[in-house]
Amino acid sequence: MWLSAILSLAAQTLLLVPRWRTNPRLLPAACVFVFVSLWLDKGLGLIVGGFVPSPLGSITQYKPTLPEWTIVAAIWAMGTLLITVFYKITLSVRTGANH
């Protein structure tokens, strides 16, 4: 958790100062800091409920239901749609297209 907090503060500092934000060597580092910070905080900090052992040491088996799989598919589809839209916006800004 401390490493996540330190990386997020470093990324925020790098991204807030315009001279550092536009530096082609520091910008990738700031992006990596953001990604690693979020991964440490959310990826390693979460515990999947189906894999937590009981006080007696038994592990409860869990199988997702169809509605849960449908929700997961919808979330992935929405994420894919948003990434596609953001890429389209980014490319149109970078190429100077006025479409």
- 53 within a domain of the structure (yes/no): no
Instruction: Kindly state whether residues 68 and 98 are assigned to the same domain.
Output: yes
Instruction: Kindly state whether residues 43 and 75 are assigned to the same domain.
Output: no
In the chain, % helix, strand, coil (3-state, to 5) comes to: 70, 0, 30
- Per-residue model confidence (pLDDT) at position 1: 82
Q: Are 36 and 80 in contact (CB under 8 A)?
A: no
- 54 within a domain of the structure (yes/no): no
Burial bucket for residue 20 (CB in 10 Å: 0-12, 13-18, 19+)? middle
- Tell me what the pLDDT averaged over the chain comes to: 85
Range of the domain at 78: 59-99
With tokens 């592990």, the residue in question is 59
The residue from 13, 28, 48 where one domain ends is: 48
- Which residues lie below 8 Å from residue 10, measured CB to CB, with a gap of 6+? 30, 33
pLDDT(45) > 80: no
Question: Structure pTM?
Answer: 0.48
Instruction: Kindly state whether residues 43 and 84 are assigned to the same domain.
Output: no
- Per-residue model confidence (pLDDT) at position 38: 86
**Number of folded domains that form the chain:** 2
Instruction: Kindly state whether residues 34 and 65 are assigned to the same domain.
Output: no
